[in-house]
Structure 1
Amino acid sequence: MFDSLKIAFSMYSAIPVPGTAWEEKPMRYAMCWFPLIGAAEGAVLYLTHFALRRIGAGEIVAAAAGTAVPLLVTGGIHLDGYLDTSDALHSWENAERKLKILKDPHVGAFAVIRCAWYMILYLGAMAAVMTAGPNAVLMMGGVYVLERALSGSSVVLFPKAKQDGLAVTFSRSSADRAVTAASAFWAMAAMVWIVFWGKQTGAILGAGCLFSYGLYYRTAMKEFHGMTGDLAGWFLQRCELTGAWIIALAAMLKI
């Protein structure tokens, strides 16, 4: 199980971990540990928030730091999927052509446009989250865990759009029941955490993340006839942005 944990962190984070062979047995359970990367990301965000408050950093600095934390922890792997999927969706081609666009290593115009759009909106949301107080930051940490639990579950539960790629590799190697049970456990734990720190806002936040998950399934099936690793990253980033703005709006409206 420790090897499975190392595989999850080496694949989906930029956190240094001891090397391990990508053998079938540890890969079967790697997705069980995927949400722990979100917990690590949340811990880094909280420590960053604490340090910035101690030195009296301003709103712009806090917003920039909050925006940078997910990229530093993950290395941008999920944002890459978001950008590839943005290019594919805005091509308005059929599903087969969209899947080819996902595999294209070149960056298209819509990926650049959507990246700018995303980062501006994320920066704005994090300005409110990082200045709203510790509870808002702790809720954001819960979002990091919840979105990964939902994204990980899709690897074993959703039909696949193609027969190769990272999602298929992990799906073929995974112990489906273990991954499904672990994803459900982490999702429930994250929901409890979010509601504990956010009360009414936490309940709305959890519902917003689940709504994003439903839209993810609808888009995957309608536009691609199944999910891919890029689509899982696309969902994760959209869910994170949705969560950040729910927290930000609640803070601004003093809910």
Structure 2
Amino acid sequence: MSADDSAPPVSSGFFTEIQLAFSFLTILPVIDQRPASEETVAASFAWFPIVGFLIGLALAGEDWILAHFFAQVIRSVLIIISLTIVTGGVHLDGLADTADALGAGRERERALDILRDSRVGTFGASAIFFDLTLKILALSTLAGHRRYAALIVAPMIARWAMLLVARGLPYLRASGSGSTLLSGKVSGVRTAAVAIFTIVVMLMLGAMGPVALATAVALAIVFAMRSFYRRWLGGVTGDLIGACGELVEIAVLLAM
């Protein structure tokens, strides 16, 4: 038997890509334990907004249930706690590391060293505090249909922003899950399909004025952060991508 014959089968296809996207963005276990090819891992990046939509749908359902027992402010706190738990706080960690790297000044190598460090400094802790506070306060002001729309749209647009901010920029680490995730170009067909899906969801949710404003604000943030990342470090890391997602999530809730 050759070495190739003894190797485990490689998983690929649409469902594998979706499962990988869930594994990157949530703490939910991946059902298919077979190894995936680098092309499949890279392709899974395109489905991030779909995962965001499903997260938002679950949050909206949770909020509907909690509305029978708790006031709006308490529900808002519980929803943000649920969002943090289901994502494993990974994007919050990225925001914290990015804030610490910014706080260290403009020296590129020093900033990259801080981004590799798992410890959270003063700037990072402050960023997490203001992130969670702004999300809770913004969500607390929303009620009725607009509240449900915001809960669905915010995670979806935030994960769409993560796709857009990294598109075409070099990945600054030679190893790690992010290097594999961004190892190839995301298919234009997949990107177009996700964009169409996102637009259809927005149209179905109604509240088009606030949703359109939130989308415009998100795109402006993505454009600004792409330009900043390119000038500051010359590319992106997983932490920088996560930080963009967090800021867009806050901005969408505020805009709604």
Q: Which TM-score bucket, shorter chain as reference?
A: 0.7 to 0.9
Tell me: CA distance 1:217–1:28, structure 2 relative to 1, closer, same or farther (3 Å): closer
Q: Does 1:206 align with 2:206?
A: no
Other-structure match for 1:181: 189
Q: Does 1:233 align with 2:242?
A: yes
Higher normalized helix content (fraction of residues): 1
Other-structure match for 1:142: 153
Other-structure match for 2:89: 76
Determine the C-alpha separation between the residues in 2 that align with 1:186 and 1:43. Answer: 16
Other-structure match for 2:107: 94
- Whether the 8 Å CA contact 2:95–2:242 is kept in 1: the answer is yes
Other-structure match for 1:164: 175
Q: Does 1:35 align with 2:49?
A: yes
Q: Can you list the C-alpha shifts for 1:139-176, whole angstroms capped at 9, x where unaligned?
A: 3312322221231244442233343343222111x4x2
Tell me: CA distance 1:72–1:30, structure 2 relative to 1, closer, same or farther (3 Å): same
Cα offset, 1:190, TM superposition? 2.1
Overall identity of the aligned pairs, in %: 23
Q: Can you list the C-alpha shifts for 1:203-243, whole angstroms capped at 9, x where unaligned?
A: 11110110111122022112211111110000000000000
Amino acid in structure 2 at the alignment position of 1:136: R
Unaligned runs of 5+ in 2: 1-12
TM-score normalised to structure 1 length: 0.86
Please give the root-mean-square deviation of Cα atoms over the aligned residues, in Å: 2.0
**Aligned to 1:9, which of 10, 22, 33?**
22
Unaligned runs of 5+ in 1: 248-255
Report the number of matched residues: 241
TM-score normalised to structure 2 length: 0.86
Tell me: CA distance 1:90–1:184, structure 2 relative to 1, closer, same or farther (3 Å): farther
Q: Can you list the C-alpha shifts for 1:13-64, whole angstroms capped at 9, x where unaligned?
A: 1123314233214324211322222122111111112112233x21221111
User: Residue 129 of structure 2 aligns to a residue in which SS?
Assistant: helix
Determine the C-alpha separation between the residues in 1 that align with 2:42 and 2:179. Answer: 12
Larger Rg belongs to = 2
User: Residue 105 of structure 2 aligns to a residue in which SS?
Assistant: coil
User: Residue 111 of structure 2 aligns to a residue in which SS?
Assistant: helix
Other-structure match for 2:130: 117
Q: Structure 1: which 4+ aligned runs deviate by more than 6 Å? A: none
Other-structure match for 2:5: none
Amino acid in structure 2 at the alignment position of 1:114: A
Determine the C-alpha separation between the residues in 1 that align with 2:60 and 2:66. Answer: 10
Q: Which moved more, 1:61-70 or 1:133-142?
A: 133-142
Other-structure match for 1:26: 40
- Whether the 8 Å CA contact 1:155–1:170 is kept in 2: the answer is no
Determine the C-alpha separation between the residues in 1 that align with 2:146 and 2:133. Answer: 23
- Whether the 8 Å CA contact 2:57–2:151 is kept in 1: the answer is no
User: Residue 243 of structure 2 aligns to a residue in which SS?
Assistant: helix
Cα offset, 1:80, TM superposition? 1.1
Amino acid in structure 2 at the alignment position of 1:9: F
